[in-house]
C-alpha cells in the first residue's frame, strides 16, 4: 500500500511540474504524460524550455519521447535506459520497419503482437503495417537529441544501426505522401469561406480561423489553436489609393523553430482577415486570453482553446459543406496553399517567405517550381 501511495505521489508531482511548462506542451495529455515519463524526462523537458527551444520543436520532442517510453515499457517492461544500448536501437528499427510479405509467413517478423496491441490500446498506434521511414528516422533523431541533452553519447550513428535502417527501408518501399493531398489555394479558400456566410458564432469563428491561418502565411494548426489576444497588436492602417485605409494587425509568434529564444517572429494581417478576426472577437467578447475557442452545444463560448486537431476538423467540415472531397484537404493545405497562391500571383519568393516564416528556401521554392512547371513551356511541348 505504501509503495502504491508513493507511486501515486510521484505521478501527481510530475503532473504539477508539467503544469509549469503547460504553455508549450499538449496539456490535454498531462495526466497520461505524467504516468509515462520519468522524473528525469520531465526535468529534461523543463531544461529545454529554459534553453529557449521553439514551442513546435519541443512539442514534437515531447510527443516522440512519450511514444518511445510507451514502446520501451511494452517491449521490455522497463523505462528507456539512458543512453540506450545499440541492441535496443536495433530492436526499435526491427519493430517499426518490416516487410509485410514476410510477416505473412513469419509471425515473429516486425513488431510482436503483444507490443502492437499494447501501444494500440493506448492510442499510440492507429494505422496498420510498418511505420513510414521518415517517422522512424525522426523519432531516432529526437531520441539522439534527448540523449545528448542528458549528457550522454548514443549509438545512433553506429554502422549497424545505419545499415539496419537502410536495409529495412528497402524492404518497406513507400512513396512520400503529402500532408495535404491538395493545396488550399485562393480559389479553394473562397469556396470554404462561402460556407461561413451567416453571423452565427460558429460561422464567424470558422471564417476568422480560415482567413487568419491562410493570410498570416499558412500558420500551423498549433499556432492557430494557441493564438492569444496578447499576441495581437494594432498597427497603423495601410493607405490604398482610391479606397479607404485597410486595417492592419501584427501577430507576435514568439519563439518558433526558425527563431532563437531572443527573437520574436512577427507576421502581419491586412484588410479582410483583420475584419474577420475583429468580428469574431467582438461577437465572442474576447478581450484577453485564447482567441479561438470551443463553442458549446447551445452556442456558449468556452474559455477553453480549441484543440489543434479541431483546426483540421473545421477545414474538412467546411470542405464537405462546399461540395469538395474532405479527404483531399487538411489544415496543412493552408500552408502549402499560401505559397502556391503567392507563386501563381507572381509574388517574389523572399517576400512570401517573410510571411510564411519558412526556414528552408528549398522547401518553399518547391511550391514556386511546381507552379512554374504547370504553366511553363516545358509542359506545353505539344
CATH number of the domain encompassing residue 334: 1.10.443.10
Sign of torsion over alpha carbons 58, 334, 293, 278: positive
The DSSP call for residue 228 is B
The answer on 190 and 167 residing in a single domain is no
Residue 161, in any domain of the structure: yes
Relative to beta strand 265-270, strand 246-254 is: antiparallel
Is 135 found in the same domain as 55?
yes
| pLDDT tens digit sequence for 293-311 | 999 888 889 888 888 888 9
Q: Give dist(CA 34, CA 78) in Å, integer.
A: 16
Cα separation, 78 vs 178, whole angstroms: 36
Q: What digits encode the pLDDT tens for the residues 11-60?
A: 666 666 555 555 555 445 556 666 777 777 777 777 776 666 666 677 77
Residues 131 and 230 in one domain: no
Q: What is the pLDDT of residues 121-138, one digit of tens each?
A: 988 888 778 888 888 888
Can you give the C-alpha Rg of the chain in angstroms? 23
Please compute, for residue 322, the number of CA atoms within 13 A of its CA located in the half-sphere on the CB side. 23
Question: Residue range 217-232: average pLDDT?
Answer: 90
pTM of the model: 0.59
Give the distance, in angstroms, between the CA of residue 378 and the centroid of all CA atoms in the same chain: 36
Q: Which of 171, 204, 220 is the last residue of a domain?
A: 171
Tell me, yes or no, whether 128 and 225 share the same domain: no
From 141, 171, 201, the end of a domain falls on 171
Mean confidence (pLDDT) of the chain: 81
Share of the chain above pLDDT 90, in %: 32
Per the domain annotation, does 253 fall within a domain? yes
CA distance 202 to 219: 20
Contact in structure between 265 and 258 (CB atoms under 8 Å): yes
More confident residue, 19 or 167: 167
- The total domain count for the chain is 2
Strand pairing category for 232-238 and 301-305 = unpaired
367 vs 45: CA distance, rounded Å: 35
Query: Would you say residue 203 has pLDDT above 90?
Result: yes
In the prediction, which pLDDT does 27 show? 46
Both 13 and 112 in a single domain? yes
Give the pLDDT confidence score for residue 326 in this predicted structure: 87
Contact predicate 81/150, CB 8 Å: no
Which of 171, 195, 214 is the last residue in one of the domains? 171
Q: Do both 267 and 323 map to the same domain? A: yes
Q: What is residue 174's predicted lDDT score, i.e. its pLDDT? A: 56
Do 95 and 118 belong to one domain? yes
Q: Are residues 354 and 249 in the same domain?
A: yes
Per-residue confidence (pLDDT) for residue 99, from 0 to 100: 83
* Same-domain pairing of 201 and 345: yes
- Residue 120 and residue 14 share a domain: yes
pLDDT of 4 strictly over 50 = no
Query: Scanning the structure block, which residue is given the C-alpha cell 463553442?
Result: 295
Residue 261 has pLDDT above 70, yes or no: no
| Contact call for residues 26 and 63 (beta carbons, < 8 A) | yes
Q: Average pLDDT for residues 170-182, to the nearest whole number?
A: 58
Domain assignment present for 179: no
The answer to whether residue 180 is domain-embedded is: no
Please check the confidence at residue 84 and state whether its pLDDT lies above 80: yes
Asked whether residue 311 is assigned to any structural domain, the reply reads: yes
Please state the rounded mean pLDDT for residues 75-100. Answer: 91
pLDDT at 292: 94
- 129 in any annotated domain: yes
Q: Does 39 share its domain with 113?
A: yes
By residue range, what is the domain housing residue 328? Answer: 186-379
Query: For residue 181, is it within any domain?
Result: no
The answer to whether residues 193 and 213 touch, using CB atoms and an 8 Å cutoff, is no
* Same-domain check for residues 278 and 371: yes
**How high is the pLDDT of residue 61?**
83
Q: pLDDT band at 369, cuts 50/70/90?
A: low
Residue 178 lies in a domain: no
Amino acid at each position: 500500500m505504501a509503495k502504491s501511495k508513493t507511486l501515486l505521489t510521484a505521478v501527481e508531482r510530475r503532473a504539477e511540474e508539467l503544469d509549469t511548462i503547460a504553455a508549450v506542451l499538449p496539456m490535454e495529455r498531462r495526466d497520461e504524460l505524467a504516468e509515462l515519463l520519468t522524473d528525469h524526462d520531465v526535468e529534461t523537458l523543463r531544461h529545454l524550455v529554459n534553453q529557449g527551444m521553439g514551442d513546435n520543436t519541443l512539442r514534437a520532442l515531447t510527443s516522440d519521447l512519450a511514444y518511445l517510453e510507451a514502446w520501451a515499457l511494452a517491449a521490455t517492461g522497463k523505462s528507456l535506459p539512458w543512453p540506450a544500448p545499440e541492441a535496443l536501437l536495433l530492436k526499435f528499427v526491427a519493430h517499426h520497419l518490416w516487410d509485410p510479405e514476410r510477416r505473412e509467413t513469419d509471425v515473429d517478423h516486425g513488431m510482436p503482437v503483444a507490443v502492437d496491441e499494447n501501444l494500440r490500446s493506448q492510442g499510440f498506434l492507429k494505422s496498420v503495417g510498418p511505420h513510414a521511414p521518415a517517422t522512424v528516422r525522426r523519432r531516432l533523431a529526437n531520441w539522439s537529441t534527448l540523449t545528448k541533452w542528458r549528457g550522454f553519447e548514443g549509438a545512433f550513428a553506429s554502422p549497424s544501426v545505419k545499415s539496419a535502417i537502410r536495409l529495412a527501408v528497402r524492404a518497406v518501399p513507400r512513396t512520400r505522401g503529402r500532408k495535404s493531398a491538395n493545396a488550399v489555394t485562393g480559389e479553394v479558400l473562397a469556396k470554404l469561406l462561402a460556407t461561413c456566410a451567416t453571423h452565427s458564432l460558429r460561422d464567424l469563428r470558422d471564417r476568422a480561423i480560415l482567413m487568419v491561418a491562410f493570410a498570416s502565411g499558412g500558420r500551423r494548426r498549433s499556432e492557430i489553436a494557441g493564438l492569444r489576444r496578447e499576441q495581437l497588436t494594432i498597427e497603423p492602417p495601410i493607405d490604398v489609393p482610391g479606397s479607404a485605409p485597410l486595417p492592419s494587425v501584427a501577430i507576435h509568434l514568439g519563439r518558433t523553430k526558425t527563431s532563437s529564444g531572443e527573437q520574436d517572429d512577427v507576421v502581419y494581417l491586412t484588410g479582410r482577415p483583420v475584419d474577420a478576426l475583429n468580428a469574431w472577437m467582438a461577437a465572442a467578447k474576447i478581450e484577453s486570453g485564447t482567441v479561438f475557442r470551443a463553442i458549446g452545444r447551445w452556442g456558449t463560448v468556452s474559455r477553453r482553446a480549441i484543440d489543434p486537431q479541431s483546426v483540421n476538423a473545421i477545414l474538412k467540415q467546411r470542405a464537405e459543406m462546399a461540395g469538395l472531397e474532405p479527404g483531399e484537404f487538411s489544415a496543412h493545405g493552408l500552408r502549402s496553399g499560401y505559397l502556391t497562391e503567392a507563386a501563381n500571383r507572381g509574388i517574389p519568393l523572399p517576400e512570401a517567405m517573410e510571411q510564411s516564416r519558412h526556414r528552408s528556401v528549398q522547401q518553399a521554392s518547391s511550391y514556386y517550381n511546381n507552379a512554374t512547371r504547370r504553366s511553363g513551356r516545358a509542359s506545353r511541348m505539344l
